[in-house]
Chains A and B, each alone.
Chain A
Amino acid sequence: MDYVEKRVAQEASKPAAANDSLFTPLNVLLIGALLYTVYTFIKPKAPIALPKEEPAVVFKTFTPRTLLPFSGENGAPVYLAVRGRVFDVSRGRNFYGPGGPYANFAGRDASRGLAKGSFDEEMLTKDLDGPLDTLTDLTRDELEALQGWEDRFSEKYLVVGKLVAVGDENKA
């Protein structure tokens, strides 16, 4: 408290300086603050730019052989085909990717397996260069099950291409 009293007395004893110039250091500081604030409000704002979205995937025509690499191995996307439509099921990697319960379907035509509800190796078309599975021998129930899967896939996953037999790539 001593200090405060001492300082007050000290200041009071000073002669009142007649000081009415515009450019005192204090006024310069105040003007500076004012100009800076005005500038920050007035300066043109840069337009907002959102990050660019992922480029769209190009729709491709696959044959059983060119579809094969998309099995999810080594970080590749996981594709599977249902009745000629190729779905990107990478988001369901836990199911369709390597080690998943449906891993057999990855990179293959899964129509028959899905229709029959079987994940076995023999559901897949063996001959990669032969014609596509025509599915003509399926029963009505099996076709219905397949339709159910297809509807679910169409809701959840993107169709990124179509599957055709080797040799049919350029047919419409």
Chain B
Amino acid sequence: MTFFDQLMLHFDEGVTGLFAQWNVYSSLIFTLFAGFLTYQIVTRKDPDAHPFLLARQAQPSAVRQQGESPVYRSQAAPHGMPLNPGLNVKDPGVSKWAKGRDGDLRDIWRQAVAGVQEDGPSKGATGRILTVLGSENVTEHRLGELTRQINLIGQHIEDQGGNRVAIYLPNSVELIVTLFACAFHNLTAIVLPFDQPDDAVISMLRRSAADTVVTAPGSFPFDHVVKSYPSLRQLIWVVDDGSAHLDWNEVPQGTGGSVNVSTWQDIVNDGPAEAGRELPPLESQKEARDVTIFWQSKPGTAEEMVRFTAANLISAVAAQIFAIPTSQRMGPSDLFLPADSLANTHTLVLTLAALYSNASVAFNSVGAGANDLAMCTRGIAPTILVATPAALLKTHQETGSALTSAIARNLHSLLTRSLTQEGVMPTASAISNYYDRYRPAIGTRPGKLRLIFTAERVGAGTPPLSSSVLSDLRVFTGARIVCALTSAKVAGAAAQTGFYDYRVFNDSRSHFGAPLTSTEVMLRDTPTVKNADGQSRGEIIVRGPCVAGNEAALGVEGQIREDNTLAYL
């Protein structure tokens, strides 16, 4: 035997000897091994967004000014191109290939009434408009009836010589209807934050030079206003059904002699049944008027009055629609609930986007302080929610503290892993079904919710949401969360986190993602914080068609992180 043969014989004996040890445990281990591999391969999913897209979310400009950072834009809005100005509305009869109009608020209501225009299974479907007054009382408003209200209310205010209409209402269908009535009847709308002290209301009326107020009895200091704000000409009470029998038109002796008082219900019910069924024609319509919004910062400081042009608002709406990937766009199957005050442009713009997308919209009379999501969603099962950071934190805290058992916590970390490591939103599976019992009670049918919008308000002392809290909330609710940076002069949002961005960082306040397609962000040197090559930090400056005056300094210091997302410094 040669040496080589000897070696091979040893080898042969060795291998045979090893496998001779095969026993029942070996089979067991091998089965486990094969099972694990099969499970991994079968359940393997591609991440929702390619990791490269998350690793660099905004594009910097190639040239920067001295003392400034490069200008950052969304990947979907290349430099050198105009930012997204509007909705690209195609009027009937116009060539399919022609460029559409940017549109204004009127086109949003027209679209809401007309229904889905794209060919497909949902062509012609319209959304529903609901008012939620508690778990038992959900009222649906027919779109045709709302169109009639838009026409009658708008006509009434116009006939009485109104020009600047202040809306002082909680979140309600009347608020939106008045806004559209102003748009269709060439009136300037002024949206006041609800539930303010008397003095603040009077000051806001005075500053905005309102001549007409649409409001609800009980919350509006009528006597006080009449005495100290003589320019008021007209008042419309939105009376709820319970007190509709009272005679609201009667003005108490000695007060409000010059003010014309009427109620919403009388205007609508006294109008001829056939009146106002059709919206004013598109042809020869006047230029859309501005909308004035009051931005509330910290309590005790005066509200900042901002005039948004129709173009500002529509650009913001278009950008919000565009920010959601095509397959996940809002549509007729969605129920949208603004659980934050509609006096915030972020909430308002998203609600308009939902109306334009023919989603159903539910109104619940929450004020800015509403921070209980379970309360807000009683009686309905929203799929899309706008919530305040405070409400989300409360939900996070309540749900998190209920996760005490070892099983629950392991399930939670398993689902979190799927989100943060694999970039996959967990879908219905045995694991997530079991986890359902720990989910917060948002809506009557848990699991329906798919998207939550929330926003940091610059300078308003909003509680911070860290990226790990956001990630926990995604697991708790099974919904994606978009966290935006909002400011007084920017309609909608200045920047917001990506729809598919689930990453967690070691931070106390999450980043704000990339600019929208209607904004560009730049950082300007401050006395203490300077830009340098490859390091962008300074005061946040936002420009774009959705910014009042086209450019706004936010007054906070920010930075662009490694992944080109915007964050506070």
Q: Mark A residues whose CB is within 8 Å of B.
A: 7, 11, 17, 19-22, 24-27, 29-31, 33-34, 37-38, 41, 44-45, 47-50, 52-60, 158-160
Residues of B within 8 A of A22 (CB): 25
Contact yes or no, B25 A56, CB < 8 A: no
| CB of B62 closer than 8 Å to a CB of A | yes
Q: Is the CB of A56 within 8 A of B62?
A: yes
Bound Cα distance A45, B32 (Å): 24
B141 located at the interface, meaning its Cβ lies under 8 Å from any Cβ of chain A in the complex = no
Q: Which of B33, B61, B421, B534 sits near A44, CB closer than 8 Å? A: B421
Q: A38 — which chain B residues lie within 8 A by C-beta?
A: 36
Say how far A70's CB is from chain B's closest CB, in angstroms: 15
Distance between Cα atoms of A116 and B61 in the complex (Å): 33
Cα(A48)–Cα(B54), bound, Å? 9
- CB of B401 closer than 8 Å to a CB of A: no
Q: Say whether, besides A53-B60, A58-B64, A159-B63, A26 and B21 are in contact (CB < 8 Å).
A: yes
- The yes or no answer to B18 lying at the interface (CB within 8 A) is yes
Give the docked Cα–Cα distance between A48 and B55 (Å): 6
A56-B62, A57-B64 known; A27 vs B25 contact (CB < 8 Å):
yes
Q: Are B24 and A20 in contact (CB under 8 A)?
A: yes
- Binary contact readout B17-39 vs A (1 if CB under 8 angstroms, 0 otherwise): 01111111110011011001100
- By the criterion CB–CB under 8 Å, are A11 and B16 in contact? yes
| Seed contacts A24-B26, A48-B52, A59-B64; 19 additional CB < 8 Å A-B pairs | A7-B12, A24-B25, A25-B18, A27-B25, A27-B26, A30-B30, A34-B36, A44-B421, A45-B421, A48-B55, A49-B55, A52-B534, A53-B60, A55-B534, A56-B60, A56-B62, A56-B63, A56-B69, A58-B63
> What's the nearest-Cβ distance from chain B to residue A82, in Å?
16
Chain A residue with Cβ nearest B70: A56
Q: Per-residue CB proximity of B299-337 to A under 8 Å, as 1/0?
A: 000000000000000000000000000000000000000
Q: Is the pair A33, B51 in contact by a Cβ cutoff of 8 Å?
A: no
Distance in Å from the Cβ of B172 to the closest Cβ of chain A?
Answer: 45
Q: Which residue from chain A places its CB closest to the CB of B54 in the assembled complex?
A: A48
B62, A158: Cβ atoms closer than 8 Å: yes
Chain A residues positioned under 8 Å from B63 (CB to CB) = 56-59, 158-160
Q: Is B101 an interface residue (CB 8 A)?
A: no
Question: Interface on B for A, CB 8 Å cutoff?
Answer: 12, 16, 18-26, 29-30, 32-33, 36-37, 40, 51-52, 54-56, 60-66, 69-70, 421, 503, 533-534, 562
- Complex Cα distance, B382 from A32, in Å, reads 49
User: Which residues of chain B have C-beta atoms less than 8 A from A49's C-beta?
Assistant: 55, 562
A contact patch SS: mixed
CA distance A53 to B59 in the complex (A): 10
Residues of A within 8 A of B54 (CB): 48
What is the distance, in angstroms, from A158's C-beta to the closest C-beta of chain B? 5
- CA A45 – CA B24 in complex, angstroms? 35
Q: Are B51 and A48 in contact (CB under 8 A)?
A: yes
Contact A20 B16, beta carbon cutoff 8 Å: no
Q: Which residue of B lies closest to A16 (CB)?
A: B20
Measured between alpha carbons, how far is A111 from B65 in the docked complex, in Å?
Answer: 24
* Bound Cα distance A41, B534 (Å): 35
Given A45-B421, A58-B64, A59-B64: A34 in contact with B29 (beta carbons within 8 A): yes
Residues of B within 8 A of A30 (CB): 26, 29-30, 33
What residues of chain B lie closer than 8 Å to A11, measured between beta carbons? 16
Q: Which residues of the other chain, B, contact A158 by a CB distance below 8 angstroms?
A: 62-63
Contact (Cβ within 8 A) A24 B62: no
For A25, what are the chain B residues with a Cβ–Cβ distance below 8 Å? Answer: 18, 21
Cα–Cα, bound, A50→B58 (Å) = 13
A59 vs B33: C-alpha distance in the bound complex, in angstroms?
A: 61
B64 and A50 contact, CB distance less than 8 A: no
Tell me which residues across on chain B come within 8 A of A45, comparing CB atoms.
Answer: 421
Contact B18 A47 (CB under 8 A): no
Query: Do the beta carbons of B66 and A26 come within 8 Å of each other?
Result: no
Task: Establish whether residues B55 and A47, one from each chain, have CB atoms under 8 Å apart when the complex forms.
Answer: yes
Q: In the complex, A159 Cα to B18 Cα: how many Å?
A: 73
* Partner among B36, B52, B64, B533 whose Cβ is within 8 Å of the Cβ of A37: B36
Residues of B near A41 (CB, < 8 A) are: 36, 40
The distance in angstroms between the C-alpha atoms of A44 and B533, with both chains bound, is 32
Interchain CA distance A33-B439 in the complex, whole Å: 38
In the complex, residue of chain B having the shortest beta-carbon distance to the beta carbon of A11: B16
Shortest Cβ distance from residue B31 to the other chain A in the assembled complex, whole angstroms: 10
Min CB distance, A117 to chain B, in Å? 27
Mind listing 14 A-B residue pairs with CB under 8 Å? A7-B12, A11-B16, A19-B21, A20-B24, A24-B26, A27-B21, A27-B25, A30-B26, A34-B32, A53-B56, A56-B61, A56-B63, A57-B64, A60-B66
- Hey, which chain A residues are within 8 Å of B16, CB to CB? 7, 11
Tell whether A26 pairs with B52 under 8 Å between CB atoms, given A37-B36, A56-B62, A59-B66.
Answer: no
User: In chain B, what residue has the closest Cβ to A47?
Assistant: B503
Give chain A nearest CB distance to B513 CB in angstroms: 16
* Residues of A contacting B64 in the complex (Cβ-Cβ under 8 angstroms): 56-59
Distance A79 CA – B125 CA, assembled complex (angstroms): 58
CB distance from B413 to the nearest CB of A (A): 11
Contact A37 B37 (CB under 8 A): yes
CB–CB A26/B62 < 8 A: no
Bound form: Cα–Cα A30–B30 in Å = 7
A37-B33, A56-B64 are contacts. A19–B18 as well, Cβ < 8 Å? no
Q: Report how far A24 CA is from B54 CA in the complex, Å.
A: 48
B62 touches A57 (CB 8 A): yes
A58 partner, pick from B12, B55, B65, B503, beta carbons under 8 A: B65
Give the complex CA separation of A22 and B29 in angstroms.
10
B30 CB contacts on chain A under 8 angstroms: 30
Docked Cα-Cα span, A50 to B503, in Å, equals 16
- Bound together, the chains give a CA A140 to CA B25 distance in angstroms of 94
Are B36 and A24 in contact (CB-based, < 8 A)? no
- Bound state CA distance, A49 and B40, in angstroms? 25
Q: Which of A17, A26, A55 contacts B26 (CB 8 A)?
A: A26
Given contacts A30-B30, A37-B37, contact A50 B52 (CB under 8 A): yes
* CB nearest to A34 among chain B residues: B33
Do B25 and A50 have beta carbons less than 8 Å apart? no
Chain A residues whose CB sits within 8 angstroms of the CB of B60 once the complex forms: 53, 56
CA distance A75 to B36 in the complex (A): 58
Q: How far is the CA of A25 from the CA of B17 in the complex (A)?
A: 10
User: How far does the Cβ of B201 sit from chain A's closest Cβ, in whole Å?
Assistant: 44
- CA of A45 to CA of B417, assembled, Å: 11
Which B residue's beta carbon lies closest to that of A49? B55
A169 to chain B, nearest CB (A): 12
Output the nearest chain A residue to B60 by Cβ-Cβ distance: A56
